[in-house]
């Protein structure tokens, strides 16, 4: 048993380290700033891009990342996490190699957007599922939070490293160094990832906690993707994931540019500090969701994010470096919580047998959210007062997302025997129950019964 337990923590460590390498996605604002400076400087070796298209590789990367998760999830379920992560490492290396040898717009859209984005999807999809399978439901949030925290924490070292490399060797040479390093790390650690043996059942602690007890009381479920798609909760989760990720990515992709006005060449520090908040949000939200439930935690995080988005208008206009860093850290914290809550929701509702494909389908919300919100933000920012409008839109959507959590039942997995009419009947029942709770009826009834 101790050997199996040690194997589980080894998988967690390897998955976290792989995500630490793949988290270069969140350092895009550093690359973006260097490309923009090259365009504005001009010259024979400069990037000959339109300034309006400068964020396109990042937007395409988010889409490729998300939709690659579907194929990668199927691979993870069929050929195992090790080979899936190995494919991811090779794709990321190929993408960065292409960027290293060409500064054309097409090369960077293909290199960073399609190849590296797909590689992120394959590597990321292989890290979390095997780690969750080694541990009991009482640790689902914690383990998911630890593994995905690596992705969020990556800019802490990648942002200053990238800034130094670009200053010392130029943009394209830096891409070559980063690509080689990431390929070696991801491919090397991929061989540590492994699913538990068939029939393995993780031991539950003596006091697993309220969420795990509720989960254990529900019938076992291993839903297929078609069964999941017939469940209304999938669409509620998809919409809230779209909102939470889109709002966060909108800020993450531009934070270095926002910080440059008040921090100058030290703007990378805002990216690095925000990454600490991003990683902390994943772990803390994971632990909290194990204690008070996924739905309650998601409501808290989306509500907090709405407040931060509305506060951002005043903070950005203040030109205060301290306030901007604090704001970015909290926005990163709330955004990071999404990346541990939604994989936990997927395991609770639909089980682990087809987890890779199921979560891959749900994860498309992340990519679509990043792409749509990023493009809308760029369009609005080009207009007078557009930055404030972007934050108002993001804050409003986060408030709507928080309200939508009323439709999420706590720990009621969809089983193969459930039929569509009963799904929607349950949906309506939960809506009416939620309405009573929010109106204060339920609280009053509880107090009277006491």
Sequence-distant (≥ 6) Cβ neighbours of residue 29 within 8 angstroms: 252, 253, 254, 255, 256, 257, 271
Cα separation, 217 vs 380, in Å, equals: 49
CATH assignment of the domain containing 134: 1.20.1250.20
What pLDDT does residue 432 have? Answer: 52
- The share of the chain scoring above pLDDT 70, in percent, equals 83
Determine, yes or no, domain membership for 38.
Answer: no
Asked whether the beta carbons of 52 and 382 are under 8 A apart, the reply is yes
Determine, yes or no, domain membership for 274.
Answer: yes
pLDDT at 209 over 80: no
Determine, yes or no, domain membership for 184.
Answer: yes
What pLDDT does residue 206 have? Answer: 60
Domain total of the chain: 1
Sequence-distant (≥ 6) Cβ neighbours of residue 287 within 8 angstroms: 141, 142, 145
Determine, yes or no, domain membership for 438.
Answer: no
Number of continuous H segments (helices) and E segments (strands) in the chain: 20, 0
Q: Tokens 């008070």 belong to which residue?
A: 292
- In the DSSP assignment, the letter for residue 201 is -
Please report the DSSP string for 52-113 in residue order: GGTTHHHHHHHHHHHHHHHHHHHHHHHH-HHHHHHHHHHHHHHHHHHHHH---HHHHIIIII
What pLDDT does residue 419 have? Answer: 39
Average pLDDT over residues 116-136: 89
| pLDDT band (50, 70, 90) for residue 422 | very low
Average pLDDT over residues 189-217: 71
Determine, yes or no, domain membership for 47.
Answer: no
Average pLDDT over residues 125-154: 86
Query: What is the residue range of 221's domain?
Result: 2-30+53-195+208-418
Determine, yes or no, domain membership for 44.
Answer: no
What pLDDT does residue 2 have? Answer: 45
Q: 52-91, pLDDT tens digit by residue? A: 788 889 888 888 998 898 899 888 888 999 999 999 999 9
Determine, yes or no, domain membership for 448.
Answer: no
| pLDDT band (50, 70, 90) for residue 121 | very high
For 289, the token pair is 């969701």
| pLDDT band (50, 70, 90) for residue 199 | confident
- The share of the chain scoring above pLDDT 90, in percent, equals 31
What pLDDT does residue 444 have? Answer: 45
Determine, yes or no, domain membership for 188.
Answer: yes
């Amino acid at each position: 048993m101790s050997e199996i337990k040690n194997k589980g923590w080894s998988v967690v460590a390897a998955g976290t380290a792989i995500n630490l390498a793949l988290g270069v996605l969140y350092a895009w604002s550093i690359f973006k700033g260097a490309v923009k400076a090259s365009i504005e400087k001009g010259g024979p070796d400069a990037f000959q891009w339109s300034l309006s298209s400068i964020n396109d590789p990042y937007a395409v990367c988010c889409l490729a990342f998300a939709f690659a998760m579907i194929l990668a999830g199927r691979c993870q379920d069929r050929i195992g996490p090790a080979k899936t992560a190995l494919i991811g490492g090779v794709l990321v290396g190929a993408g960065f190699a292409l960027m290293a040898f060409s500064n054309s717009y097409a090369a960077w859209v293909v290199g960073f957007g399609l190849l590296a984005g797909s590689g992120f999807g394959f590597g990321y999809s292989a890290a979390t599922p095997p780690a969750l399978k080694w541990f009991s439901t009482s640790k689902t949030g914690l383990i998911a939070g630890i593994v995905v925290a690596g992705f969020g924490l990556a800019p802490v070292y990648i942002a200053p490293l990238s800034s130094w490399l670009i200053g010392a060797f130029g943009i394209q040479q830096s891409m070559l160094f980063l690509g080689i390093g990431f390929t070696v790390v991801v491919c090397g650690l991929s061989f540590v990832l492994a699913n538990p043996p068939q029939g393995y059942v993780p031991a539950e602690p003596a006091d697993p906690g309220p969420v795990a007890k509720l989960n254990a009381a529900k019938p076992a479920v291993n839903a297929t993707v078609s069964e999941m798609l017939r469940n209304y909760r999938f669409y509620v989760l998809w919409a809230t994931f779209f909102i939470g990720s889109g709002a966060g990515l909108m800020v993450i992709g531009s934070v270095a540019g926002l910080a440059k006005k008040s921090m100058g060449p030290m703007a990378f520090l805002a990216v690095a500090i925000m990454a600490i908040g991003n990683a902390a949000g994943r772990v803390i939200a994971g632990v909290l969701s194990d204690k008070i439930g996924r739905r309650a935690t998601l409501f808290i995080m989306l509500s907090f994010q709405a407040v931060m988005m509305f506060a951002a208008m005043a903070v950005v206009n203040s030109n205060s470096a301290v306030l901007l860093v604090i704001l970015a850290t909290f926005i990163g914290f709330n955004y990071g919580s999404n990346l541990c809550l939604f994989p936990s929701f997927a395991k609770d509702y639909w089980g682990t047998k087809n987890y890779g494909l199921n979560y891959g389908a749900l994860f498309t919300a992340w990519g679509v959210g990043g792409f749509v919100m990023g493009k809308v933000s760029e369009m609005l920012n080009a207009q007078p007062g557009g930055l404030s409008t972007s934050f108002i839109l993001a804050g409003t959507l986060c408030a709507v997302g928080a309200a939508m959590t009323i439709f999420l039942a706590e720990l009621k997995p969809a089983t193969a025997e459930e039929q569509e009419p009963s799904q929607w009947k349950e949906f309506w029942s939960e809506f009416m129950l939620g309405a009573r709770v929010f109106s204060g009826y339920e609280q009053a009834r509880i107090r009277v019964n006491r």
